[in-house]
Amino acid sequence: MSTIGRKLMQVWTGFGTRYLPFADAATPELPLSRLLRLSLFQITVGMAVTLLVGTLNRVMIVELAVPATIVAVMVALPLLFAPFRALIGFKSDNHQSALGWRRVPYIWKGTMLQFGGFAMMPFALLVLSGGGESGQLPTWVGQLGAAIAFLLVGAGMHTVQTVGLALATDLAEPEARPKVVGLMYVMLLVGTIVSAFFFGWLLADFTPAKLIQVIQGAALTTMILNVIALWKQESRHPRRGAQPRNDDPSFLEAWRHFVDNGNQVVRRLLTIGLGTAAFTMEDVLLEPYGGEVLALTVGDTTKLTATLALGGLFGFGLASKVLSRGMDPFRMACWGALVGIPAFIFVIIAAPMNSPFVFATGVALIGFGGGLFGHGTLTATMNLAPPNQAGLALGAWGAVQATAAGLAMAAGGILRDVVQALVTWHPWTHWFSIPATGYVFVYLLELALLLGTIAAMVPLIGRQARRVPA
């Protein structure tokens, strides 16, 4: 049996080395099998993103009849913790532990936060919907319970991802770190795709009982996979004792050094935020759009998340090959924004054409363009990060990206409701009020944001070669 197991591992490793983007980051000291095991934390993050953004928003709006504004705010709540990612990365860079670990304590705390949020979430959502005897409770009870659950999942998800990526860069050789982080990001997309298909299959015939089982199953899976991912990954260093060190910089000092490294860090972060908002404002609306306008089922609309992630995976794979040949990562990010323009046009025209195929094509292109954009900005961030600040650099990138995504998703849901209400009740506009009106307004706004992203990104092209040593 051990011989068969070794052969299967050789086949799996060979397959991964040949086909996975960034799989060439593996080294004798850090083999691909260990990298793939570490990447399990990204699988759980992808599963959480799919459940929150891809499944629950559709279930809450359509099946549980929760207003889209409340849903958008709830789905965006986990991202309120995003601005703290830079601080978390910095703390894990300089953590003092009697056990000699820097990253493991933070990843474990994040895992427990995710588990707790998922454990209470299904019951909070059922109370929020007012179903059964829960309708006798005050409205704020369901809203508060759901808000706490979403916040716990968000805090855990951001902590695990930020510190996990920092641990991956610790384990890799300096020249391989961008590739290792890229591999982690690809595994995030893989987790999103697999969980989207799985959730879609489980919820094909929706019932509240199935919703409880799916969410609590996600809680248990998160705990198991994260423990496996962490097992014997970080070495213990006794010199990292619990005694504080006077030579450690403060967060403000480290941030000041990061911002003043001569590579327009602030402009890069602002551009990342603008492009991320352009690609994510529709996240909370795609599945309701498919269900309300194109009459797709819960299972069909949940699979849209997989379609979006597949597009992102292909975009990331293509960007990996092109960037490895020396292409400027900011130019790659611009190409991603350009791909997003026809993508949103396809999504818009799917309504008058009543074509699920055109809609799915637009969703796939959104994922593809987002993959190109995300890869380009991630690679630029890693390549331009000052020495010994990988956690801070990744935290800043993740903080800006996640914060922009959260604000954009909340704005998308609110704008959809406001515009739909205006065109429905105003005597001058009610004549063209259709279910797609509010959605289309948001998609047109995203087209404008993409054009603004391209304009802001162009001056950064060529900055990759101007790295200033620390």
Boundaries of every domain in the chain: 27-233, 256-465
pLDDT of 373 higher than 70: yes
Contact 82, 122 (CB under 8 A): no
pLDDT-based confidence at 470, cuts 50/70/90?
very low
Q: Which of 276-290, 387-401, 405-419 has the lowest mean pLDDT?
A: 387-401
State residue 7's pLDDT score: 55
pLDDT of 263 higher than 70: no
184 contact partners, CB below 8 Å, separation of at least 6: 38, 39, 42, 164, 165, 168
Architecture of the 256-465 domain: Up-down Bundle (1.20)
pLDDT-based confidence at 14, cuts 50/70/90?
low
Can 27-233 and 256-465 be said to share one CATH topology? yes
pLDDT of 289 higher than 80: yes
Residue for token pair 């709006």: 61
pLDDT of 406 higher than 80: no
Task: Pick from 10-19, 26-35, 272-281, 282-291 the range whose average pLDDT is largest.
Answer: 272-281
State residue 187's pLDDT score: 83
Contact 124, 145 (CB under 8 A): yes
Closest CA relative to residue 468, chosen from 330, 256, 262, 329: 262
Mean pLDDT of 185-195: 81
pLDDT of 15 higher than 60: no
Angle between helices 329-353 and 265-280 (to 10 degrees): 20
Angle between helices 390-425 and 437-457 (to 10 degrees): 140
Q: What percent of the chain has pLDDT over 70?
A: 77
Query: Distance (Å, rounded) from C-alpha 316 to C-alpha 312?
Result: 6
How many CB atoms sit inside 10 A of residue 447's CB?
17
pTM of the model: 0.70
Mean pLDDT of 36-45: 86
173 contact partners, CB below 8 Å, separation of at least 6: 27, 29, 30
What CATH number does domain 27-233 carry, 1.20.1250.20, 1.10.287.990, 3.40.50.740, 3.40.50.2000?
1.20.1250.20
Mean pLDDT of 144-172: 84
How many CB atoms sit inside 10 A of residue 224's CB?
12
Angle between helices 139-171 and 85-93 (to 10 degrees): 40
pLDDT-based confidence at 269, cuts 50/70/90?
confident
